[in-house]
Structure 1
Amino acid sequence: MTDAAPTSALPDGQALATLVAGKLCHDFISPAGAISSGLDLLKDPSAQDMRDDAMSLIEQSAKKMVALVNFARVAFGAATSAERFSGAELGELVSGLTEGGRATMDWQVGERSFSKPQARALINLAYLTVAALPSGGAATIGVRESGDILTLEGKAEGNRARLKGEAIAGLAGQPLSEGLPGQWIQPYWLWLTVHDAGGELVTTAEEGRVTLSAHMPN
Structure 2
Amino acid sequence: MNAIDLASLLCSRLCHDLLSPVGALNNGLELMADEQDPEMRERCLELLAESAKASANKLKFFRLAFGAGGGYGASIDTQEARAALEGLFGGDHKVDLGWMVSADSLSKNATKLLLNLALIAGDALVRGGRLDVGVEVADGRLELVIRGEGPRILLDPKIRETIIKGSANGEVEPRAAGAWLAYTLATEAGGSIRLSDPSDDVLMIGATLPA
- Asked whether 1:98 is paired with 2:64, we answer no
Q: How does 1:38-53 map to 2 (within 5 A)?
A: 38-45=28-35, 50-53=40-43
Aligned to 1:3: none
**Ranges of 4+ aligned residues in structure 1 off by more than 4 Å:** 45-49
- Asked whether 1:108 is paired with 2:100, we answer yes
Distance 1:102 1:32 in 2: 21
Q: Would you say the 8 A contact 2:70–2:76 is kept in 1? A: no
Aligned to 2:181: 189
Amino acid at match of 1:156: G
Distance 1:154 1:53 in 2: 37
Q: Would you say the 8 A contact 2:22–2:55 is kept in 1? A: yes
Aligned to 1:5: none
**Tell me, what secondary structure is at the counterpart of 2:79?**
helix
Identical-residue share of aligned pairs (%): 27
1:122-171 CA distances to partner (integer Å, 9 max, x unpaired)?
Answer: 11112222222212332211111113210110011234224111211221
With over 3 angstroms needed to count, the CA separation of the structure-2 counterparts of 1:54 and 1:181, relative to structure 1, is farther
Aligned to 2:75: 84
Using structure 2 for the length normalisation, give the TM-score: 0.88
Question: RCO greater where, 1 or 2, for CA within 8 Å and sep 6 or more?
Answer: 1
Using structure 1 for the length normalisation, give the TM-score: 0.86
Segment of structure 1 superposing worse, 143-152 or 123-132: 123-132
1:163-215 CA distances to partner (integer Å, 9 max, x unpaired)?
Answer: 111211221133369xx934211122211122222211111134211111111
With over 3 angstroms needed to count, the CA separation of the structure-2 counterparts of 1:202 and 1:165, relative to structure 1, is same
Displacement of 1:102: 2.6
Distance 2:188 2:144 in 1: 16
2:12 aligned to which of 11, 18, 22: 22
Aligned to 2:130: 138
Aligned to 1:210: 203
Amino acid at match of 2:202: R
With over 3 angstroms needed to count, the CA separation of the structure-2 counterparts of 1:163 and 1:41, relative to structure 1, is same
Give 5+ residue unaligned stretches, structure 2.
Answer: none
Aligned to 1:8: none
Displacement of 1:46: 5.3
* RMSD of aligned residue pairs (Cα, Å): 2.1
Q: Would you say the 8 A contact 1:169–1:184 is kept in 2? A: no
Amino acid at match of 1:65: S
With over 3 angstroms needed to count, the CA separation of the structure-2 counterparts of 1:30 and 1:159, relative to structure 1, is closer
Amino acid at match of 1:207: D
Displacement of 1:25: 0.7
**Tell me, what secondary structure is at the counterpart of 1:71?**
helix
2:190 aligned to which of 198, 204, 207: 198
